[in-house]
A and B are shown apart, each in its own frame.
Chain A
Amino acid sequence: MGEPAIAVHALRKSFGAKEAVAGIDLEIAAGSFAGLVGPNGAGKTTSLSMMTGLLRPDGGQVVINGRDVWADPPAAKAIIGVVTAEAQLFDRLSGEELLEYAGRLRGLPAAQARDRAAQLLEVLDLAADAQRLVADYSTGMRKKAALGCALIHNPSVLFLDEPLEGVDPVSADVIRRLLTDFTASGSTVLFSSHVMELVEQVCDHVAIIDKGRIVASGTLDEVRGGKTLQRAFIDLVGPRTSEEEGLSWLGSSSS
């Protein structure tokens, strides 16, 4: 493997007494479609926020394509795209205004920002709604618009936090195809999710995080070890619930 697109060393973050990320190490090769999976509260969002310069770590290093995120934030920011979990956008802008705004913020000339915005809206199946306010978009449309904002400056590494959460199958397919094409061109995607089937379908590299630590990392086959990813994941992080007590009244004909 050459120089990794994403290299994380001993990254850690605590909130008060709670250690959210306990010194993780991770390397993702360029051109990978990588998944960061873990149960709720495992530290996925905190890790991604630190990798993208949005949350200052307590320690550790993040290097994106040779640029240290925390030593030289402007250089790193210029080559990454970010989609946050809730995809909260400037919702009083129309879809095309939003994408043009994102492009202009990234320093694209006005005409180029407008052209790319139109092309992205077309590919993301938002062209018909380009002039509607983002406030009136559905969850799936917002996720697609957020993805458009993250891609408009053609980043070499894309970070996505739960990109398909709450997205309908048709929109999910659009996003999936776009990301697959993106990585096929040599760019890198790292996304967090807790939907194992999705990760299994699209990722070639997987890291499992639990309680702020990476408990497994490698190619999909290495992490699965001959099982389904779901099974391997549960074996690694362990079941979260106690023995089922059962609801004797549920499903019976009695009320």
Chain B
Amino acid sequence: MAWLLVQLKLRMLRNALRSSARAKSSFILSTAFAALVAVGTFTGLALLRGQSTSVDVTSVVFTLFAFGWLVLPLVAFGLDGTLDPANLALYPLRTRTLAVGLLAASAAGAWPLANVLGLLGVTVGLASGALGLVIALVAVVLEVLFCITLARFVTTSMANVLRSRRGRDFAAFLFIPIVALYETFTQVVPRLAASGKLSTSSFGGVDAWLRWLPPGLAAHAIQDASTGHPGTALLRLALLAGITVVLGALWVRSLGRALVTADSSTQSSKVHGKVLPFARYGLRGTVTARLWIYQRRDPTSLVYWGITAVIMGAVSVSAIVGQNKHVGVLIASAVFGAAFVGVFHANMIGQTGPPFVLEATALTGRRTLRAYFSGQNIALAAIAVPLLAAVSFGLAYLARHPVYGLLGTAVDLAGVGAALGLCNILSVTLPFPVERRAGSPVRVTTPGYTSSGVGATLANVIGVALAVIPVIVAIALTGHDPAAIRMPVLLVCSAGYGLALAWLGGLVAAAAAEQRLPELCQVAVRSKL
């Protein structure tokens, strides 16, 4: 059975290579990234040799890997068919047989291999002597076994929830901290390291509590064996093995339960509020109401806003940390924030998908289309403006230049207006179907329409950047004017300018859409949401 499930996993991986070009390229990229992680981790751990904090850093790395194993399967639940016990519930398999098979399937693939190879860096960085080396090998195997068992236990015990609509929504939200973590590692950590604020000594003492967690036990076992305490090392490994066995037993129990538990995907609670808000304000208010509700209830929308804020933060890092601070990037962060509002909403009809047909059957002319686009703009601006302004102020405060909060907001106001106007136009002139893939919280461009997706993204980024130039010029030219006059004038003029751009975009889009509604419907129905 174990071999059969390993074959199933390997066959699924191989099939990815034979399917669409997108699946093939994502498989190759993922494998290349896994190899990079393996080499990077091995090198990083090996370079710790001889450093006083090597065991602390190793504990942190081992814990981070365990955290990754805990979180990523929740996001990728729908991607790996072997993660969901319901897929195997129909077959006449005993729970223990199935458990061994699933464990073996988890260990197959590029990422588990990359984990083992990467963590083997401890054989160079932390272990010394023959005994230290042997204990290091055992510790790495036990650490990976612990990670796999932990991941299986969590996904199996949460399988019913993850399969439900609410579970999928929850998994989508995990995307925001993952992006934030990625940005932290690529933007913040290198700058902190370059300025000397982050070094291996920063981790000194961090494992005062990490050492008692299973990953910490593995790291300290290697150090104990290498410093002449084999008994303690063995005790730590025995404890780690014991924890893994207990976790495994709990997993087997929850697996047995999951195989005979009803699907909870149809259970749901009721929503609050009986009336569609703003609906009394005509078609414009009705469209605003629908989109406003979606911004709250659709996890993809919340992910988009979260990522926009994260991107603004990432762009501003050089103004906040490091030795040479560039406060000008706070303005750039406002431009990027507005541009990403545009990027995420530049294909509103494709993103709306087949339900757009319901709207299209009621959109009967240019006047109703104008109301439709301006309704969308109102709902998006109601979130974008306060969000971007708050992030601009927050970043300016962190950079200790609060005045840049006001300047950033001026750019936000103009940029959001430009972005929304462009969104209206691009949604009509460059629409493309999108689809939701299992494991991905955001909608991706349907194969065959990549150039439209890239075109819309570029058009938005470039368009917003060009549109805010007058505001940036005004900021530069009025630098010596009294702030009490300069700031209100800048804010009011930027808001008016943004409003005009958004209005103009809606106008152009309505005129274009009037002639193209059937074609837009066909794009919408091709989306798979």
Contacts and interface: CB of A to CB of B under 8 A. Distances in A.
Interface of A: 52-56, 73-74, 77-78, 80-82, 84, 86, 88-94, 96-97, 100-102, 104-107, 110, 113-114, 131-133, 135-136, 138, 149
Nearest to B359: A105
Interface in B251-279: 266-271, 274-276, 279
B475 interface: no
Given A131-B271, A133-B268, A136-B268, A104 B358 contact: no
**Looking at chain A's contact residues, is the secondary structure mostly helix, strand, loop, or mixed?**
mixed
B270 A102 contact: no
Interface residues of B, number: 39
B361 interface: yes
B279 A82 contact: no
B488 interface: no
A204 B486 CA distance: 75
8 contacts: A56-B519, A88-B355, A90-B355, A91-B355, A94-B271, A100-B275, A101-B289, A138-B266
Contacts of B280: 110
Given A86-B354, A110-B279, A77 B362 contact: yes
Contact of B271 (A90, A104, A133): A133
Contacts of A107: 283, 362
A88 B353 contact: yes
Interface string B336-362: 000000000000000001110111111
B290 interface: yes
B298 interface: yes
A107 B298 CA distance: 26
Nearest to A96: B274
B4 to A, nearest CB: 19
B354 A88 contact: yes
Contacts of A97: 271, 276, 293
Nearest to A82: B361
Contact of B294 (A74, A78, A86, A92): A92
A178 B97 CA distance: 53
Interface in B480-522: 517-519, 521-522
A74 B368 CA distance: 10
Contact of B364 (A56, A78, A113): A78
A135 B265 CA distance: 10
B13 interface: no
B294 A104 contact: no
Contacts of A100: 275-276, 279
A193 to B, nearest CB: 19
A237 B271 CA distance: 49
Contacts of B363: 105
B3 to A, nearest CB: 22
Contacts of A135: 165, 268
A184 B293 CA distance: 38
Contact of B357 (A78, A82, A114, A132): A82
